Structure 1
Amino acid sequence: MTALVRLRLAAFLRTGRALAPVLAGLLALATVGVALGGGLGRGGPRRLRLATPLPGLTA
């Protein structure tokens, strides 16, 4: 890699723009959960459920 490419990559990662797609995805998941009746902190009867539980989470 050239120094210019390295410098531009470091600047891109420092600005936080690298996290923008992740944050947008989390916001979309929260919005879908609220629209389905689950709410942010409580699950409604129509809440989406995972086929297998995630490790470290209790049901």
Structure 2
Amino acid sequence: MKDHTVLCNAAYKQRKRNPGVTETAEIENRSHSLIIDSGWREVWNTALAFIKRFH
């Protein structure tokens, strides 16, 4: 398990008690620099789909 996965899971556990919707999405082969790495559109589309579902 990579460090960012552990951090993401810990953040999820903290936030899942909030009244708002909390989800995680596993996107393979992404680093900490999500928006400047190749493949950033997949990350963006995943986030945008979440926003559209709950806005």
Common fold, TM-score beyond 0.5?
no
Larger radius of gyration: 1
Larger RCO, structure (CA 8 Å, separation 6 or more)? 2
